[in-house]
Amino acid sequence: MKNVAVIGSGSWGTALAVMLDKYGHKVTIWSWREEEAQAIRKDREHKEFLPGIEIRDSIGIETDPEKAVSNADIVITAVPSKFVRINMEKFSPFLKENQILVNVAKGLEDNSLMRLSEVIKECVPQCKVCTLVGPSHAEEVGRDIPTACAISCCDMEVAKMVQNEFMNPNFRLYTNSDMIGMELGAALKNVIALAAGMSDGLGFGDNTKAALMTRGMVEISRLGIAMGGKAETFMGLSGIGDLIVTCTSMHSRNRRAGIMLGEGKSLEETLKAVHMVVEGVNTAKAAYDLSVKYNVDMPITKEINEVLFCGKDARKAVMELMSRVGKNESIGF
């Protein structure tokens, strides 16, 4: 069993901490807010982001970066994508040579268009960086509901070690050498989930959502392959698996946000109502910019950007997607 530090006290980081603690690891959660840390210590529950899930006394709650990670064998970074760089820069002085860092955030860096593992490696070159993604709602992992994810690392022996340490009867972990494909699948499906939610909010049916999901996966795969990912990765847990769960579940904050946008709420109203980070909004512009950079046709992603940032009516966006010139299905990407 290992000493595990979790950087980030949101729903996903907390759920992983609860799971790893239950199966024998010594876990510490780092929170950037002393008020939040005190509340968790007192209530032994994260009432804001993961209500109803016990955080046992054996889990440490820290606000000091050095104390949080100094004794850790494995460090999990579970902060929203837009805060990855600033937090890695903050923790870099306290992370040791060859310390294992497992990123579980899903997104892209907005301005640089970098994948999150690239951002992390730039900030903490001394660490061995892994990516853990897949269809995994925090609300279910925290309750020990059977879940399967995938893990990747440039050093696959490290990925296998984390696999062996993190796997338990209710959390299955597969290794995958395609970190590019895994990260892009996990990030870009959030954009498509916004579209699926908008479809629900507009009152459209299962047919519409199935079309958006299927053609959305074509867009994800096209860009992912252009950037060096493998086609088969997008048919796996970090691709179609994550897309299914994010587009269909009310646990999905991206789908919930899309529903509100489809119902006519503004982006500002939607983000306030969801009260959690909606990664699809943060990723949409980067995804579109990458499609331009790599000359990849991504019409759904383009329309989502128009709705989010240009005030386009969601119904009009769907109608324009439906009225595009007829094409060959082109499943081969």
Tokens standing for residue 216:
């959305």
pLDDT of residue 33: 93
First to last CA, the chain: 43
Domains and CATH numbers, the chain: 3-177 (3.40.50.720), 187-322 (1.10.1040.10)
Residue 331 has pLDDT above 80, yes or no: no
Distance (Å, rounded) from C-alpha 170 to C-alpha 68?
Answer: 27
At 330, the pLDDT band (50, 70, 90 cuts) reads low
Does 189 participate in catalysis according to the annotation?
A: yes
Exactly one of 106, 121, 128, 189 is catalytic; name it: 189
Across residues 231-235, what is the average pLDDT? Answer: 97
Across residues 4-13, what is the average pLDDT? Answer: 97
Q: Residues 163-206: pLDDT tens digits?
A: 999 999 999 999 999 999 999 999 999 999 999 999 999 999 99
Cβ-based neighbour number of residue 311 at 10 Å: 9
Name the strand (E) or helix (H) holding 174: strand 171-175
Angle between helices 179-201 and 116-123 (to 10 degrees): 130
DSSP-based three-state secondary structure for 150: strand
Q: Residues 256-287: pLDDT tens digits?
A: 999 999 999 999 999 999 988 899 999 999 99
Under 8 Å between Cβ of 170 and 228: no
The single residue listed with the structure tokens 């966006």 is 317
pTM here is 0.94
Residue 55 has pLDDT above 70, yes or no: yes
Phi, psi of 274, rounded to the nearest 5 degrees: -70, -35
Q: Residues 301-320: pLDDT tens digits?
A: 999 999 999 999 999 998 88
How buried is residue 262: exposed, middle or buried, by Cβ count under 10 Å (0-12/13-18/19+)? buried
pLDDT of residue 35: 94
pLDDT of residue 332: 52
pLDDT of residue 150: 98
The single residue listed with the structure tokens 């440039």 is 154
Going by C-alpha positions, the residue among 214, 156, 205, 143 that lies closest to residue 182 is: 156
